[in-house]
Structure 1
């Protein structure tokens, strides 16, 4: 999908921000808070359906027949005029991690649980869903510029991000460690990764966790883990399955998907994506533009009518369901409200 022309009618106040300061802030944000696996989807055609050992039959074809919702006039009325004017909800996603957001078997159509949830939100707000695939590194600046109105791509909430964005929570946020089948690893903390070779996405939250764990190991006089970086999911998993790495850390839904659809990998650990604190996955919108509360209300409507639960069940992610969506911003971050 071709990038859209930036909407100059939106958020002109960004022009007042010094470019160097803005880029520096965003660079720190990415280093602190990535929760997505930014590698590209595995190359090559994929089967249209995949039957998994967890009982889920994953539809990976471009014909998704997504669960749809009716427009709720009361919710639609809450959409800010600048967002509502063109009748679209422009959503960014990275399309790099099954079953979250990835390319279908045609190798070009973005699909996954993130986009199914975005579809429910757009429907309830009376907007057409306009999906834009972007890289993990680019979505912050493009959301700031107004190219994207919301990001649905396994984004976690944290202290760095709330300075720039508002959030509407919709899923639990965990990272998983995976290894070759037959491995005896049991990863619960820093001591368990000493000396191991671990693949990780650059600039992600999982990298932040491993760096912190390595500091703990070095303080104890133990060998740190060796972090290894690959350009795609395909290269990462090939390195793991061939024994060039001992572990891979990635979003928990992705590692459990592979455990359930492959014969050679298994999950050997789980950690909250906000370690040492906790965090949630959330729709991400520009700070202060008024869209987050409308998305939160749409998510809660989907939770209440059961469509949200059906979407998570479709992708084998029912365990990550939240009982309620909340708007999180800089003012209430960390307060539990």
Structure 2
């Protein structure tokens, strides 16, 4: 792939963009980027992956189109609570960005969206008696298309934050962490700003992890230390290739994705972990338009799935049990940051 690179001298960032006009650039669920119509970028980064991959953490990842998802029974009482405008076509239209194993990505057929985010969305649709209609979109587009009504909910590793609660309501379903990854031969131990001083760090534009790095750089500059050089790549494949080849020192991405790579590759390891809401804490949540009444119903559906065990089975299937929540909560602008909303600030 031809690439062009340019540097913003004022910020110390390096941005690498695809120069191919025929592809459509898609943002991922939380920051890394994926190319529309390509195979899952995580798979491409390490060569063609088989349909099932046995990992060191004991998980056998099924990346084939035939998912045989864990399903849930319809809850008639919950189905009756679905806002009328949602249930008219009998579908729950869910947006996802299909850019990062094991959260949301394309199967080995290069077109079927699969992953833990969609498995959880399936449980919610089942509980509400609706057909799951998955729509792959870009990270940049899901907010506008959710506001326009094209999407009824977003399941794409969306973290709750102060800006988003002004426009959307949330139903929490997973802990939200970011992982720093590096070559296995490295000795990095990333716990705060001082640990990234002067390093080249790849990150997704417009993401919570970018906000963390920008804040850390500001802290470093205040101490008179060299900030990290932030690098932006056009796909997850390019990001991981740059990391494994030594062109970048670190990559920060959703923790589940870094854990997947640590457990399925021989050259990378996790060297740090930070909450996606740093310096506070946040959660990953299903996202719907503010005030439309859908978020509380999704919350009830998630709690029903937690209670019957199907939620736990989904997370176990994808090696994400450590990010399980004991309870889903509805988070709105009105209760954001309160104990009733969970760990969100």
Cα pair 2:125 2:132 within 8 Å, conserved: yes
Measured on the aligned residues, the alpha-carbon RMSD in Å equals 1.0
| Counterparts of 2:48 and 2:193, CA distance in 1 | 38
User: Residue 306 of structure 1 aligns with which residue?
Assistant: 309
Q: Which of 185, 188, 191 does residue 188 from structure 2 map onto?
A: 185
| Counterparts of 1:72 and 1:114, CA distance in 2 | 21
1:36 equivalent in alignment to 2:30? yes
1:272 equivalent in alignment to 2:275? yes
CA shift for structure 1 position 37: 2.8
- After superposition, give the CA deviation of every residue in 1:92-126 in whole Å (9 maximum; x if it has no partner): 00000100000001111000000000000000000
* SS at 1:213 equivalent: helix
Q: Which of 299, 318, 325 does residue 321 from structure 2 map onto?
A: 318
Cα pair 2:29 2:99 within 8 Å, conserved: no
Cα pair 2:54 2:264 within 8 Å, conserved: yes
CA shift for structure 1 position 45: 4.9
| Counterparts of 1:279 and 1:335, CA distance in 2 | 12
| Counterparts of 2:32 and 2:91, CA distance in 1 | 26
| Counterparts of 2:182 and 2:53, CA distance in 1 | 21
* SS at 1:285 equivalent: strand
CA shift for structure 1 position 35: 6.5
- After superposition, give the CA deviation of every residue in 1:260-295 in whole Å (9 maximum; x if it has no partner): 000000000000000001000000000000000110
Which stretch shows the higher mean deviation, 92-101 or 42-51? 42-51
| Counterparts of 1:198 and 1:45, CA distance in 2 | 26
Cα pair 1:38 1:135 within 8 Å, conserved: no
- Greater strand proportion: 2
- After superposition, give the CA deviation of every residue in 1:142-201 in whole Å (9 maximum; x if it has no partner): 000000000000000011000000000000000000000021100000000000000001
User: Residue 20 of structure 2 aligns with which residue?
Assistant: none
- After superposition, give the CA deviation of every residue in 1:12-35 in whole Å (9 maximum; x if it has no partner): xxxxxxxxxxxxxxxxxxxxxx96
Cα pair 1:35 1:273 within 8 Å, conserved: no
Q: How is 1:120-139 mapped onto 2 (pairs within 5 angstroms)?
A: 120-139=123-142
* SS at 1:61 equivalent: coil
Cα pair 1:35 1:205 within 8 Å, conserved: no
Cα pair 1:168 1:327 within 8 Å, conserved: yes
Cα pair 1:217 1:224 within 8 Å, conserved: yes
User: Residue 4 of structure 2 aligns with which residue?
Assistant: none
Task: Give the length in aligned residue pairs.
Answer: 304
* SS at 2:295 equivalent: helix
Q: Which of 234, 237, 241 does residue 240 from structure 2 map onto?
A: 237
| Counterparts of 1:38 and 1:136, CA distance in 2 | 9
Q: Could you tell me which runs of 5 or more consecutive residues in structure 2 were left unpaired when the two chains were aligned.
A: 1-27, 35-39, 341-345
| Counterparts of 1:290 and 1:192, CA distance in 2 | 44
Q: After TM superposition, which residue ranges in structure 1, 4 or more long, deviate above 3 angstroms?
A: 43-46
Q: How is 1:197-212 mapped onto 2 (pairs within 5 angstroms)?
A: 197-212=200-215
Q: Could you tell me which runs of 5 or more consecutive residues in structure 1 were left unpaired when the two chains were aligned.
A: 1-33
| Counterparts of 2:144 and 2:317, CA distance in 1 | 32
TM-score normalised by the chain length of structure 2: 0.87
User: Residue 77 of structure 1 aligns with which residue?
Assistant: 80
User: Residue 167 of structure 1 aligns with which residue?
Assistant: 170
* SS at 2:139 equivalent: coil
Cα pair 1:35 1:204 within 8 Å, conserved: no
| Counterparts of 2:294 and 2:125, CA distance in 1 | 12
Cα pair 2:31 2:207 within 8 Å, conserved: yes
| Counterparts of 1:233 and 1:80, CA distance in 2 | 37
| Counterparts of 1:264 and 1:135, CA distance in 2 | 29
| Counterparts of 2:124 and 2:253, CA distance in 1 | 26
